[in-house]
Every structure is written in structure tokens, then in C-alpha cells.
Amino acid sequence: MPRGGMPPRGLTVSWRRRISRSTTLQVTTLPAHLAVIMDGNGRWATSRGLSRSDGHRAGTKAARKVVSECRKLGIRHLTLYTFSKENWARPKEEVSFLFDLFRRFLTNELDQLLEQDIRLKILGEVDALPLATRKVLKHVMASTEHCAGMTLNLAVNYSSRDEIVRAARKLAEAGTPPSEITEDVFAAQLYTAGQPDPDLIIRTSGEQRLSNYLLFQAAYAEFYFTDTFWPDFDEAQLHKALEDFAGRKRRFGKTGEQDT
């Protein structure tokens, strides 16, 4: 993927979908790569008098809906921020529950991934995860390696700053001369190597920050923030974000007149 010039534009697709009997949404431009910060599970649960675990369970249902809908729409790359390195600081019981839920979710979803021709990739340090989780992840990745309909990236045990430092170390260890380190060469050492940068990054729950997520890759990404908690982010909410994205004019450093 070329860097230093114009990043790849989103996939242009003519699409019309009925959301309800009274509303028809038309989106003419879809992102080639959509990234999501799934935020608000705990607050969603608290607002309903439920446990945080209930919120995380509800969050997996929202993830399932968004993955399936993106596949239907033709979005080629979807990245979900699943567990950051900073999340290890949460209570041990919650971390243990999250990995158990994650493991069960992937085990149950394998058939659907294969049926929908979705390839699973992990962004992050897999080897530092619990053994049972690693086994399931590696099994699902190997089972879906041949799938070509969509790439689903799960950022697990992920830190963007760590990813950048890791890439720099790999280049240094390989003895790469400084004069040969270009943006393309550097990007080839990132977890997302071979994939386009995200065109659109969505964050739910009202927070408006990246939280150490895809910092290098987000250079020209559009951002969409919503107050909706992640468990309530459904197909209609996704359509709304995509419609907003389609209405934006992306200039990549040029003037509006140059793009006309």
C-alpha cells in the first residue's frame, strides 16, 4: 500500500438497504477498512442494574451483529479493539471472565466465520495470553486462513505504541540502513502489514480519544463518535455511521478545488 502520498480511498459500492418500513438508507461509499473501539459495556450494565459481566456478554452480541453486517455490506477489513495491554490492570476476576467469554465466543463463532468466508487475524501479543485462549485463537486463525471474503482483525493484548516500538526493533535487529526505512518498509513490520489503513474509526459510549489504538495507521482516518454504549450499537447505528462517513469529503492534504 502506498504511503507518503494519497492513502487508498474507501471501497466504492452502490448499496441500498431497508432499515425499517419507513426508512431507506443509501450509502454510496463504504470504508475499505473499518475500525471500532467497542466501549461502554460496563456503563451499559450499571445503568440497568446488571453486573459488568452481563455488559460484556451483551457486548459480544453486538460484535456478532456488526461483523455479520459488515460482511453483508462488502467491507473488506474490520478491526475490533477487544483487549488492550492496559486492560490487564482491571480486577483479576474481570480479566479472567473476559478471556473465558472471548474463548467461548470464538469457539461458537467458528462455523459462522467459515460460512461467511471471514478470515480471523489477531493484532497483539498472542503468546502472552492464557494458554487456553491461545489454543482457541490459533485454531480459529488456522481454520479460517483460506477465507477471502473479509478480514476480521481482533486487537487483543494490543498497544499501538508497543506495536510501533516492536516494528522499530525488528528493523534494527535486521540491520536495516536508516536510509532504507520508508513508511512502506516500516508499515510492513506492523501487525496490519498487507492491509489498508482504516478509513473510518468508530468509538462508542461518548468517549473521544484513540486510547493507544492504531496510532500509525490512523493518520488519515475519519472519526465517528457516538454516545451509544457498545451493547446498543446495532445495524441501524452502523448504517448511521457509514452514512455520515459517505457524506464527508476526504482531501488527504489537497484543497477541495483540487479534488473537483
Are 201 and 216 spatial neighbours (Cβ–Cβ below 8 Å)? no
Among this protein's residues, is 39 annotated catalytic?
A: yes
Residue/partner pairs of 130-138 with CB below 8 Å, 24 or more apart: 130/99, 132/99, 132/103, 133/99, 133/102, 133/103, 136/103, 136/106, 136/107, 137/106
State the burial class of residue 38 (Cβ atoms within 10 Å of its Cβ: 0-12, 13-18, 19+): buried
> For the chain, what is the radius of gyration of the CA atoms?
19
Q: Label residue 244 left, alpha or beta by phi (over 0 means left) and psi (-120 to 50 means alpha).
A: alpha
The cell numbers describing 173, all together, are 535487529
Residue 232 is among the residues annotated as catalytic for this protein: no
Query: Among residues 39, 41, 153, 199, which one is catalytic?
Result: 39
Burial 52-83 (b: 16+ CB within 10 A, else e): bbbbbbbbbebbeebbebbbebebbbbbbbbb
Q: Which of 41, 54, 87, 117 is catalytic?
A: 87
Q: Which three cell numbers stand for residue 63?
A: 460484535
Alpha-carbon gap, residue 37 to 211, rounded angstroms: 9
Active-site annotation, residues: 39, 87
